[in-house]
């Protein structure tokens, strides 16, 4: 009887860990997507500041760029804003994907 309850507990814990790992990966992928869309908006010069959705995406991308990959003063600087955004936010997106994958592998049973 005790052996059966341990199996049920392990199974329940494993399910929770799988769901938590999936949630962490989804959040990291979403943040990477926000950075990619923000870089795309800057690159195609569609940064209409009066548009609420564009402003939201750019503000969110500025918030999640980890500070190191800022589009104006990031790891790499270029002459144009679009090149800065593409490179720095692109690198930040890759970093979020790597962080998400590592955490997902650590959490998953």
Q: How many structural domains are present in the chain?
A: 1
Q: Could you tell me which residue, 48 or 47, shows the higher pLDDT?
A: 48
Q: Mean pLDDT throughout 32-57?
A: 86
Model pTM score: 0.81
Domain residues for the domain of 20 are: 2-107
pLDDT digits (tens, 9 = 90+) for 82-102: 888 899 999 999 999 999 999
Indicate if the pLDDT at residue 5 is higher than 90: no
Q: Mean pLDDT throughout 16-30?
A: 96
CB atoms within 10 A of CB 82: 18
pLDDT band at 78 (very low <50, low <70, confident <90, very high): confident
Within 13 Å and on the Cβ side, how many CA atoms surround 55? 5
pLDDT of the residue at 4: 53
């Amino acid at each position: 009887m005790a052996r059966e309850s341990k199996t049920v507990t392990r199974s329940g814990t494993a399910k929770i860990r799988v769901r938590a790992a999936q949630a962490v990966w989804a959040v990291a992928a979403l943040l990477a997507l926000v950075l990619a869309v923000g870089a795309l908006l800057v690159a195609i010069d569609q940064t209409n500041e009066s548009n609420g959705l564009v402003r939201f995406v750019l503000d969110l991308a500025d918030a999640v760029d980890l500070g190191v990959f800022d589009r104006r003063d990031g790891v790499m600087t270029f002459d144009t804003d679009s090149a800065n955004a593409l490179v720095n936010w692109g690198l930040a997106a890759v970093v979020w994907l790597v962080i998400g994958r590592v955490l997902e592998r650590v959490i998953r049973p």
